[in-house]
């Protein structure tokens, strides 16, 4: 944790605490959904330079503690995390999409 990220032209340590409530604050984070979310975040970490240091969830929201590079703005990090996790959870767990009648996860 808190390790410096060294690139060719810069050294940085950017840490973000992101809290994402579900749409209408529906309580959908069961143990299965939480495990699937962590698997999806591992895939995101492999594809992007976003390291998930801590992931914690309650019934209706998730806390992400992430470290990234200056190439990604905080807005872009949130966009990447929210879009990929929502799409993959809906694809892999269709029962969650039925609980969220609006068709939106976040």
In a domain, 106, yes or no: no
CA 82, CA 105: separation in Å to the nearest integer?
Answer: 8
pTM of the predicted structure, to 2 decimals: 0.87
- Can you tell me the distance from the alpha carbon of 75 to that of 87, in angstroms, rounded to the nearest whole number? 18
Q: Which two tokens stand for residue 30?
A: 């069961």
The whole-number average pLDDT for the span 14-22 is 95
Higher per-residue pLDDT: 2 or 75 = 75
Q: Which residue has the higher pLDDT, 34 or 8?
A: 34
Residue 58 lies in a domain: yes
Asked whether residue 105 is domain-assigned, the answer is no
- Domain of residue 38 covers 5-99
- Secondary structure (H, E, C), 58-86: CCCEEEEEEEECCCCCHHHHHHHHHHHHH
Burial class (CB in 10 A: 0-12, 13-18, 19+), 28: buried
Predicted pLDDT at 14: 92
CATH number at residue 57: 3.30.70.1290
Residue 8 has pLDDT above 90, yes or no: no
């Amino acid at each position: 944790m808190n390790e410096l990220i060294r690139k060719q032209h810069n050294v940085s340590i950017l840490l973000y605490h992101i809290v994402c409530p579900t749409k209408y604050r529906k309580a959908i984070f069961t143990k299965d959904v939480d495990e699937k979310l962590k698997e999806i975040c591992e895939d995101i970490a492999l594809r992007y330079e976003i390291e998930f240091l801590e992931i914690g969830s309650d019934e209706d929201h998730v806390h992400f503690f992430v470290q990234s590079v200056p190439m990604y703005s905080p807005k872009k990090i949130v966009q990447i995390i929210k879009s990929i996790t929502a799409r993959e959870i809906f694809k892999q767990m269709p029962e969650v999409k039925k609980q969220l009648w609006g068709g939106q996860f976040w």
